[in-house]
Amino acid sequence: MSGGILYYNGDLNDKSIVPSTKIFRNYGNASIGAHITRHLNVQLNYYHGSVEGIDSLTKESDNKKRNLSFESRIDEISMLFSLSLFSNRTKRLAIPYVFAGGGIFFFNPKARYYGSNPDYYGQLIALQPLGTEGQYLTEGEHPEPYKLYQAVIPIGIGTYFRINQKWRIKVEFAEHFTFTDYLDDASGKYPDMDALAQTPKGELAVYFSDRRKTKSPPNPKGYNRSNATRNDNYIHVGIGIVYNPQRQNPTRYRGPGAFKKMFSGRKGWWGNAGNGL
């Protein structure tokens, strides 16, 4: 089990080199795994957390004028393979590793309404059903409504710190590459606001589609709303604890000389689990 910081990387902070700590959110992770070899592990993971993006936090003037924001819950199920630099039986205190895998994640971008309608004021509104980029318009060329589940590829690095033969602490960093540009509900161009207003949820759709502080032009149809050339992703930095119910019986780290013994032809090496890394 582990936990830590989860943060978003996408259109609402695409010009920020270092993300604002104000968009850092918490996550929790539970996993179960098994050793395939002394260096290779496989794990089934579940991540639960949330992400947030706010144009007002950026120093980029164009993004400030756009004035978009969102927050979304993240639930991810993924299968990961991790490769350790040293054997899981080594007596070394630290064991660095890399990992990668694939899975599926669920999200649902929302934003708070601060418009003139008191019936919605202060409420957290789901954005996907509104079609803020014209997804539900029947005339003209518009994107299809995006699904609230997508594939994801987590890739990261970490280090185990050995406590004893059954317990370890792990520290890791990973980027979760998604196959959607709608994690933040922003991807393409502004739709026709007059047509958008005629949809079933037109009042809310117009408000959340065009939140520019300066309405110039008054109908931004066809103008870029965000960068559609790059998908959104999210990143986690965390610390956790690992329990292995099977006693590892660690061996002394033997260094490069162990490889000489592996190929020395000494009788009985192959069946001797104590040699090698």
Give the pLDDT of residue 262: 44
Give the pLDDT of residue 227: 87
On whether the 2-252 domain is CATH 1.10.10.10, my answer is: no
Predicted model pTM: 0.85
Strand pairing partners for 139? none
> What does each of the 277 residues of the chain score in pLDDT, given as a tens digit?
999 999 999 988 866 566 778 899 999 999 999 989 999 999 999 999 999 999 988 878 888 899 999 999 999 999 999 999 998 788 889 999 999 999 999 999 999 999 999 999 999 999 999 999 999 998 888 999 999 999 999 999 999 999 888 899 999 999 999 999 999 999 999 999 999 999 999 999 999 999 998 888 999 999 999 988 899 999 999 999 999 886 555 554 444 444 344 444 544 433 443 333 3
Give the pLDDT of residue 93: 92
Residue 124 corresponds to which tokens in the numbers above? 């957290």
Give the pLDDT of residue 29: 96
Residue 202 corresponds to which tokens in the numbers above? 């037109």
Domain spans of the chain, in order of start: 2-252
Give the pLDDT of residue 158: 97
